[in-house]
Amino acid sequence: MVDANARPAFGRAALRVFDLGLGQMLWSRRTVFMALIAGGPVLIAALLRALASLPTFDAGAGQIGGRAVSLDGPDIFGLMIWTFYLRFTVPVLGVFYGTALIADEVEDRTITYLFTRPVARGAVLAGKYLAYLACTAVVVLPSVTIVYFLVVPLLGGSIGRNFPALLVDLGLIGAGLAVYGAVFALVGAWFRRSLLTGLVFVFGWEPLVVVLPGYMKYLSVAYYLQGLAPHAMPQGDALSVIQALLTSVQTPLATWVNLAALALIWTVALAAAMRAVERREFVLGQ
């Protein structure tokens, strides 16, 4: 007969769920699709690299709308990190995986087997969240690294000198994945139409509030990530306009404030998501 008191501790249970969930997540159709999205910047970087090798290529200084601009490989890499990764790929990964942490198990009808084990439901969510972090890191970080090695050497950029910035970028993307994942895990646990809600947040709310004056921007993740971006944006009037459109209002916050804000969002969102999963019924077939 069973030892009625034998049950794994929270952390151990989360790691067991991580083991169980990672394989399912890595080989899902969603991951294949997301890998294609993360491959887009690599394709663009490869095209840039091919263009740069043409004998007629002359860049590094040029004109947009009659105004002089200058940029080099690290500048292009910085733009790509912000536009392709931090403002698109990372939140999209967060939405599609974060809202599906429990929803996938419900849809596949496997949630029953997890929720009838002697572990806290919060540990199930935590394990799935860890699997999400591992899975998305596998999808995005190699893409960023490849883009770095393709783009940074363009127009005289130095791979060695810019390497610390790459590490910061990778850390920033990791932080973005962690915070967006936690926020959308909460959205997935709270809302019935969680994917739609998440997409509205990423493509409606965040782009809007970071350009609006006032305090609404503090209710976004992008604002704090933007404040941590290490790249000096390219110089020149025209590119400054583009930069202004992309990064909008320059953050006045110190680095530690941005980090603290992201840590707070992460903690509150993940704790609230676990609490919601603990309390909510998941009725299959409804």
Contact flags string 246-285 toward another protein, x per CB under 8 A: --------------------------------xx-xxxxx
d(CA 36, CA 40): 7
Contact pick of 40, 62, 64, 108 for another protein (by CB under 8 A)? 108
Q: Which of 134, 72, 68, 71 is nearest to 97 (CA)?
A: 134
d(CA 100, CA 194): 8
- Tell me the closest approach of the beta carbon of residue 284 to another protein, in angstroms: 6
Site stretch for another protein (CB under 8 A), options 114-122, 142-150, 241-249, 268-276: 114-122
Nearer to another protein, 18 or 266 (CB): 18
110 forms part of the interface with another protein (CB under 8 A): yes
Contact pick of 38, 48, 69, 120 for another protein (by CB under 8 A)? 120
50, with CB counted inside 10 A (0-12, 13-18, 19+), is exposed
- Tell me the closest approach of the beta carbon of residue 11 to another protein, in angstroms: 13
Residues contacting 228, CB < 8 A, separation 6+: 168, 172, 175, 255, 258, 259, 262
Site stretch for another protein (CB under 8 A), options 18-26, 66-74, 176-184, 236-244: 18-26
- Tell me the closest approach of the beta carbon of residue 2 to another protein, in angstroms: 5
- Tally of helices (H runs) and strands (E runs) in the chain: 13, 3
Between vectors from CA 86 to CA 177 and to CA 61, what angle results, nearest 5°? 155
Please answer whether residues 120 and 14 qualify as being in contact, where contact means their C-beta atoms are separated by less than 8 angstroms.
no
1 forms part of the interface with another protein (CB under 8 A): yes
Interacting residues toward another protein by CB under 8 A: 1-8, 13, 16-17, 19-20, 23-24, 27, 108-110, 112-121, 278-279, 281-286
